[in-house]
Amino acid sequence: MNEYFHSVTLDEEKCKGCTNCIKRCPTEAIRVRKGKARIIDERCIDCGECIRVCPYHAKKAITDPFEMINDYKFKVAIPAPTIYGQFKTARSANHLLTAFKRIGFDYVYEVAKAAEIVSDATRELIKKGNFKKPLISSACPAVVRFIQVRFPSLIGNILKLESPMELAARIVKDELVKNENIPLEDIGVFFITPCAAKATSIKAPYESEKSCVDGAISIKDIYLKLLNVLGDINEQEEEELVKAGFTGIRWANSGGESLALGTDNFLAVDGIHNVISILEELENDKLEDVDFIEALACQGGCLGGPLTVENLYVAKTRIKKFVDMAKESSVDDKLDKTYDYDLLWTGKVEHKPIMKLDEDFEVAMKKLEELEKIYEDLPGLDCGACGAPNCRALAEDIVRGKASITDCVFKLREKVRNLTTQMMEIEDMMPPVLDKDSSQKKDNKD
Amino acid sequence: MGLSNNIIRQSYTIAADDFSLAGEASSSVKKMLNQLGVNPQIVKKVSIAMYEAEINAVIHAAGGRADVEIDKEKIVIIISDEGPGIADVELAMKEGYSTAPDSVREMGFGAGMGLPNIRRYADKLDIKTEVGKGTSVEITVIL
């Protein structure tokens, strides 16, 4: 799949060319051109900030339509634990999971369960101790991609274990093929997702060559279907489908992944701009005594994802309820050791040097100097009228040949004024042959 | 910024006593090196070494100045101040030794790792200092 596939895209009809998204993008990946926002593919990390902030709802994430499950004979749903926070009318986890079977899925397997397996493997790794401290969680694909682009020296710190989503898909497919004799190509596994970055990970994974997941359905798209069916299921009809314990469900919340590790020596940060400040500290070697960093691009963690329906804080309270229910229930959360999976990544995560001004160092030096000169000449208002997020970005665009100085409204106005002044000067100077004074001119014309 | 004979020169003021601004100069230099396409591991070395020297100037010397010179082989950073100077450089280079005031230690700084860290990451380190007059720390990293 194209390495530049992005699930975050623009609905051009709704875009007004305003400055909201260009200013919020953490990698300055958006420019307004010809009145519409354009995403620079190499810079986009699919964090979904632009989706969140667009007042005209012009930014959206491409996920698969629900009808895609009909392409497969055996339809499996793997919901992210975020799903538990979304429904007021869901009495219990079983109630919600049963609802999935009522809307068309044949089987449902909680990603929360796979998350517990990943937590276990992480615990083992931390116990062994031979890793570069601190370990940075790879649960949030936007953060991993962000590190590739802006903090490549931290790539070595990333915990290179498979994500719960991929593991869930692998386990389900293995179980169904072995135990139920269903042919692999008949099985369609669909991740029910709060997250644009995860949808991209399915089409363009970095952990391996190809994802085991067949499609991503956003929580937004599936919400009404589930809501309608929840009311129809009474308590007796609920099936015993829950496998995940409270540690897995808690992953939906910021800090949940860290708490599952049983170590106090962690740091959990959410919200991409907060993540950036922590990564800066990390790069300055200021966090050497922390074992584990959980960094999530969305404020509040996955519960705050751009494809969720419920308000983040309402969802947080609800998740707590489900976590408490799981603690009390007799769910056998002993890990199923029948599947001994190798969770290490087979793919490589590499530095994406988007900041480089030129391949040739000396040319880059000249461009850098020119950039500074241009920047000093710009008004420094960061108004966004030129389509770039700030004046420095415009200076960089100019030096890269992607923009010109007159894109700046203020520079253009200056030029107009200069031209006007020149024209006034010329207007005043007539060649000697025609240079009669005004009074004489009038007489001659009468 | 000046560019002559393919050397980039840039100067920064290190503000006195303003911890919220501490690290701005090294952050700008980090960004410059990224734009020049320098290897990320080397950028990390430069930014940590310069950051530590910058913080030292804020903690001990009420600010100072950073002069940076980049050419295609190396980057040379000179952080100079008119602070109290270092009485015993050997001692100052010992891990854990710090003359930072309590107020600074309470903020989490002053662990005594600044100079040792600079020595660890810089390819060349040259300290010129005179008690009562000031200090100049020259850091060289090969690109």
> Which residue, chain included where needed, has tokens 């970095």?
A206
User: Residue A341 has what pLDDT?
Assistant: 79
The predicted model gives A204-218 an average pLDDT of 89
Secondary structure percentages of chain A, helix, strand, coil, to 5: 45, 10, 40
**Has residue B113 been placed in a domain?**
yes
Could you say which of A284, A359, A361 has the minimum Cβ distance to residue B51?
A284
B8 touches chain A (CB under 8 A): yes
The predicted model gives A133-158 an average pLDDT of 91
**β-pairing, B2-4 with B7-14?**
antiparallel
CA angle in degrees (0–180, nearest 5) for A248-A289-A197: 40
Determine whether the interchain pair B43/A362 forms a contact, defined as Cβ–Cβ distance below 8 Å. no
- N-terminal to C-terminal alpha carbon distance within chain B: 20
**Has residue B82 been placed in a domain?**
yes
User: Residue A25 has what pLDDT?
Assistant: 94
CATH classification at residue B48: 3.30.565.10
Q: Mean pLDDT score of chain A, rounded to an integer?
A: 89
- Residues of chain B contacting A357 with CB distance shorter than 8 Å: 35-37
Query: In a mutagenesis test of the B interface, which of A28, A157, A284 is the best target, namely the one with the most B β-carbons within 10 Å?
Result: A284
Determine whether the interchain pair B35/A371 forms a contact, defined as Cβ–Cβ distance below 8 Å. yes
DSSP A43: T
How large a percentage of chain A has pLDDT more than 70? 94
B122 touches chain A (CB under 8 A): no
pLDDT tens digits, residue range A20-30?
Answer: 999 999 999 99
> Which residue, chain included where needed, has tokens 């420095």?
A392
DSSP A35: T
A359 touches chain B (CB under 8 A): yes
Full residue range of the structural domain in which residue B43 is found: 6-142
- Residues of chain A contacting B41 with CB distance shorter than 8 Å: 153
The predicted model gives A206-233 an average pLDDT of 91
Query: In a mutagenesis test of the B interface, which of A155, A157, A285 is the best target, namely the one with the most B β-carbons within 10 Å?
Result: A285
B20 touches chain A (CB under 8 A): no
The Cα A199–Cα A326 span in angstroms is 28
Domain count, chain B: 1
- Residues of chain A contacting B3 with CB distance shorter than 8 Å: 365-366, 369
C-alpha B67 chain-centroid distance: 10
A355 touches chain B (CB under 8 A): yes
Exposure string (b/e) for A248-259, b if CB count within 10 Å is 16 or more? bbbbbbbbbbbb
**Has residue B16 been placed in a domain?**
yes
**H/E stretch holding A419:** helix A409-428
CA distance A232 to chain B (A): 57
User: Residue B134 has what pLDDT?
Assistant: 93
Strands (E), A67-186: 74-79, 107-108, 135-136
Closest CA to A69 of A108, A104, A109: A104
Determine whether the interchain pair B35/A364 forms a contact, defined as Cβ–Cβ distance below 8 Å. yes
- Residues of chain B contacting A351 with CB distance shorter than 8 Å: 40
User: Residue A413 has what pLDDT?
Assistant: 93
pLDDT tens digits, residue range A279-325?
Answer: 988 888 888 788 899 999 999 999 999 999 999 999 999 999 999 98
User: Which of helix, strand or coil describes residue B65?
Assistant: strand
CB B8 within 8 A of CB B2: yes
**Has residue B109 been placed in a domain?**
yes
Task: Report residue A206's pLDDT band, with 50, 70 and 90 as the boundaries.
Answer: confident
Query: Residue A211 carries which side chain, given as an amino acid letter?
Result: S
Q: Phi and psi for B13 in degrees, rounded to 5?
A: -95, 135
Residue of B nearest to A152 (CA): B40
The predicted model gives A110-124 an average pLDDT of 90
User: Residue A303 has what pLDDT?
Assistant: 93
Report, as ranges of residue numbers, the positions in chain B whose pLDDT lies below 50.
Answer: none
Q: Describe the strand order of the beta sheet including A215-218 as a list of residue ranges.
A: A107-108, A74-79, A187-193, A215-218
B47 touches chain A (CB under 8 A): yes
| Residue A429: burial class (beta carbons within 10 Å; 0-12, 13-18, 19+) | exposed
User: Residue A333 has what pLDDT?
Assistant: 55
pLDDT tens digits, residue range A43-99?
Answer: 999 999 999 899 999 999 999 999 999 999 999 999 999 999 999 999 999 999 999
Strands (E), chain B: 2-4, 7-14, 64-70, 74-81, 124-130, 134-142
> Which residue, chain included where needed, has tokens 């002044």?
A421
Torsion, CA A201, CA A205, CA A211, CA A215, rounded to 10? 20
Beta-carbon count within 10 A of A321 CB? 13
pTM over 0.95: no
The Cα A360–Cα B117 span in angstroms is 31
Could you say which of A152, A361, A366 has the minimum Cβ distance to residue B3?
A366
Residues composing chain A: 446
Could you say which of B35, B41, B44 has the minimum Cβ distance to residue A368?
B35
**How many separate helices (H) and strands (E) can be counted in chain B?**
5, 6
User: Residue B76 has what pLDDT?
Assistant: 96
DSSP B83: S
Cis ω before A134 (30° cut-off from 0): yes
**Has residue B120 been placed in a domain?**
yes
**Has residue B112 been placed in a domain?**
yes
**Has residue B1 been placed in a domain?**
no
Question: Cα–Cα distances in Å, from A112 out to A82, A85, A127, A245?
Answer: 9, 13, 22, 8
The predicted model gives A243-248 an average pLDDT of 86
Closest CA to B36 of A204, A66, A364, A431: A364
Determine whether the interchain pair B36/A361 forms a contact, defined as Cβ–Cβ distance below 8 Å. yes
**β-pairing, B2-4 with A59-61?**
unpaired
Beta-carbon count within 10 A of A96 CB? 26
pLDDT tens digits, residue range B17-43?
Answer: 777 777 889 989 999 999 999 999 999
The Cα B109–Cα B59 span in angstroms is 9
User: Residue A433 has what pLDDT?
Assistant: 82
CB B92 within 8 A of CB B106: no
**H/E stretch holding A373:** helix A361-377
Task: Report residue A446's pLDDT band, with 50, 70 and 90 as the boundaries.
Answer: very low
Q: Is the pLDDT of residue A183 over 70?
A: yes
**Has residue B78 been placed in a domain?**
yes
Exposure string (b/e) for A329-354, b if CB count within 10 Å is 16 or more? eebebeeeeeeeeebebeeebeebbe
The Cα A82–Cα A219 span in angstroms is 9
A365 touches chain B (CB under 8 A): yes
CA distance B5 to chain A (A): 11
What ipTM was assigned to the predicted interfaces of this complex? 0.81
User: Residue B20 has what pLDDT?
Assistant: 75
Question: Cα–Cα distances in Å, from B109 out to A288, A289, A293?
Answer: 14, 14, 21
List the domains of chain A with CATH numbers.
8-61 (3.30.70.20), 66-129+159-254+300-328 (3.40.50.1780), 361-428 (1.10.15.40)
Could you say which of B35, B37, B41 has the minimum Cβ distance to residue A153?
B41
